[in-house]
């Protein structure tokens, strides 16, 4: 089971499908792109027919990447993995590699004079692929939790307890070399470690409780890429995230089904009551004069 979960975590951490966005409409923008993923560069609001645009790679403008003249793409030398949208001014580059890390220059002119010349820096980073937690109970009831990432460039680690920052009364020590923390004796709950860099983020959770006469540890890992971390509110009953999701889905479906059933019952009761009052009013109005005819009409309607 652990091997299967580890494989799923690695699959979720793959860089394929990752996408970053960067506003390059100001000079000196620093953009980051995921290795193997996509970077979307906002070069302008939209292309104008009266202006010409050129995008160069390298600081000395030796490599021309893109040329737009009269609102038409004249050249795109990496068109096999990129596209430029004239309507919104976004340049999308796919399948990023380490060689894409460089300084770029974007030039705007009227065909004769250069109106604007902007530079931007694009840095390609390998995304983190997982957040692995390990926890243990110490002899005096303290809890030590360590966190490690599955690859990734320049990972940063952050800790929370039940969705909030740890306080000095809860935290005994922090070891930045091993990316581990030690919690005091009275502390228990959902400890979360987020591992992130400029192109990705993963979160791991562990629920740990230690007592003086016995050790009780339960933990599981939840991976999320480019998403916020969602902390659990109760201890997990299984290490499998899929089971937790399935139970939650069944609960939601059950609640929705109950709402529908009660709504149908309410509608049926309302129409039955309305029909009963209608018949009562009709009978009181006509029964003394046309009793037999009313009964025949009711039978026909039924």
Residue 284's pLDDT is 55
CA 129 vs CA 10, 132, 203, 212, 232: distances in Å: 6, 10, 10, 36, 21
- Average pLDDT value over all residues in the chain: 76
Q: Do domains 19-125 and 131-239 have the same CATH topology?
A: yes
Distance CA 230, CA 190 (A): 11
pLDDT in tens, 179-223: 999 999 888 888 899 999 999 998 888 887 776 554 444 444 444
Residue 133 has pLDDT above 70, yes or no: yes
The model's confidence at residue 8, banded by pLDDT at 50, 70 and 90, is very low
Q: Which two tokens stand for residue 97?
A: 């590699």
pLDDT in tens, 66-83: 999 999 999 999 999 999
What number is the average pLDDT over the span 116-122?
96
CA 143 vs CA 115, 136, 183: distances in Å: 61, 6, 5
- Residues with Cβ < 8 Å from 145, sequence gap 6 or more? 133, 134, 135, 159, 180, 181, 182, 183, 191, 193, 206, 208
Higher pLDDT, 219 or 149: 149
Q: Which two tokens stand for residue 162?
A: 């039940």
CA 102 vs CA 55, 107, 125, 126: distances in Å: 13, 16, 12, 16
Distance CA 145, CA 161 (A): 12
- Contact (CB, 8 A) for 28 and 105: no
pLDDT in tens, 261-275: 667 777 777 777 777
Residue 1 has pLDDT above 80, yes or no: no
Distance CA 73, CA 196 (A): 37
Residue 190's pLDDT is 87
Helical residues (DSSP H) of 13-70, grouped into ranges:
none
131-239 carries CATH number 1.20.5.510: no
pLDDT in tens, 153-189: 999 999 998 888 899 999 999 998 889 999 998 888 8
Distance CA 127, CA 224 (A): 12
- Domain 19-125 class, CATH top level: mainly beta
Query: Tokens 């990023």 belong to which residue?
Result: 96
- Contact (CB, 8 A) for 52 and 110: yes
Query: Tokens 């991976």 belong to which residue?
Result: 223
Q: Which two tokens stand for residue 126?
A: 């390998």
Q: Which sequence spans correspond to the domains of the chain?
A: 19-125, 131-239, 246-301
Residue 203's pLDDT is 87
């Amino acid at each position: 089971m652990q091997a299967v979960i580890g494989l799923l975590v690695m699959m979720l951490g793959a860089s394929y499908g990752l996408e970053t966005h960067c506003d390059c409409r100001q000079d000196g923008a620093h953009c980051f792109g995921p290795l193997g993923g996509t970077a979307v560069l906002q070069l302008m609001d939209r292309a104008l027919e009266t202006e010409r645009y050129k995008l160069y790679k390298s600081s000395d403008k030796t490599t021309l990447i893109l040329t737009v003249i009269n609102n038409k793409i004249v050249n795109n030398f990496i068109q096999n993995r990129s596209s430029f949208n004239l309507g919104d001014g976004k340049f999308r580059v796919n399948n990023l590699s380490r060689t894409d890390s460089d300084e770029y220059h974007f030039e705007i002119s009227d065909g004769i004079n250069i109106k604007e010349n902007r530079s931007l820096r694009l840095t390609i980073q390998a995304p983190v692929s997982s957040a692995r937690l390990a926890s243990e109970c110490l002899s005096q009831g303290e809890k030590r939790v360590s966190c490690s990432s599955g690859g990734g460039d320049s990972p940063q680690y952050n800790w929370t307890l039940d969705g909030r920052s740890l306080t000095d009364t809860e935290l005994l020590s922090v070891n930045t070399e091993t990316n581990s923390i030690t919690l005091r004796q009275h502390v228990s709950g959902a400890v979360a470690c987020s591992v992130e860099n400029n192109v990705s983020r993963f979160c791991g959770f562990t629920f740990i409780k230690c007592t003086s006469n016995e050790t009780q540890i339960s933990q599981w890992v939840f991976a999320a890429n480019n998403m916020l971390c969602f902390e659990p509110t109760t201890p997990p009953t299984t290490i499998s995230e899929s089971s937790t999701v399935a139970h939650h889905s069944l609960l939601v479906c059950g609640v929705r089904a109950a709402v529908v059933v009660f709504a149908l019952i309410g509608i049926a009761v309302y129409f039955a009551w309305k029909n009963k009052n209608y018949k009562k009013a009709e009978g009181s109005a006509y029964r003394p004069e046309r009793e037999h005819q009313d009964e025949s009409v009711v039978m026909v309607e039924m």
